[in-house]
Amino acid sequence: MSEMQGQGSQGVSKRRLQVNPDALRLVPAEKREFWEKLAKEAEINIASQFGKRWTMLATLTVILATPDETYEDVADALNRSPGAVRYRRQAMIHLLRDEHSAVDRVEAYRSDPKKHHKWSDYAQVAEAIEQLGYFDLPVREQFALAVPLGQPSKSWRGDGSSAALAQRKSRDGSLKEEVRRLLDEARNFSTTS
């Protein structure tokens, strides 16, 4: 094996891992404690059906839900997230109103499911709508059925981001101040070392 193997024409190594010759700086235990505590306080609620295949019955439940029901009500009944229910309901609305190339998405999936696998949800919703006979109804009746469910607020998107933003705004700011203080200490520590 030659000396130049693994090196460029100018003798510079192409390795991705670079060696840092500086001395390793350790963070004092009292500063680490805050970050370790912060990591332990995170709590995530995940629906029991998250990531599982949708059954035709669950899809029909979303389609047959009345506008006075909320996404959260239907999600709780199905053990799904409100965002997942919203996605299915929006697929139904797009298909009934023939919006956003929804019908083309279904046709693409049916022509080649492997290539267009990302439209499988739309295809299942379309199948359920066909079984219910909604596509045979007059357009006026289809539009009357194509109504979103109740939302907690106008800006709700179903992905949890609005709730996260509301929680962040409602906090007393002590966590933010502590993070700023630690960052300032870290900057001062790095400049004095």
Residues 6 or more apart whose Cβ sits within 8 Å of residue 190: 25
How are the residues of the chain apportioned to helix, strand and coil, as percentages rounded to the nearest 5?
A: 55, 0, 40
**Does residue 182 sit within a domain?**
no
Name the domain count of the chain. Answer: 1
With beta carbons less than 8 A apart as the criterion, state whether 127 and 133 touch.
Answer: no
Examine the pLDDT at 2 and tell me if it is beyond 60: no
Average pLDDT of the residues of the chain? 80
Examine the pLDDT at 57 and tell me if it is beyond 90: yes
Would you state the pLDDT for residue 48? 76
Would you state the pLDDT for residue 27? 73
**Does residue 66 sit within a domain?**
yes
Would you state the pLDDT for residue 163? 57
pTM: 0.60
The residue with greater pLDDT, 148 or 20, is 148
Examine the pLDDT at 171 and tell me if it is beyond 70: no
**Does residue 113 sit within a domain?**
yes
**Does residue 78 sit within a domain?**
yes
Examine the pLDDT at 55 and tell me if it is beyond 80: yes
| Average pLDDT score over residue span 57-71 | 92
Domain span at residue 138 reads: 56-148
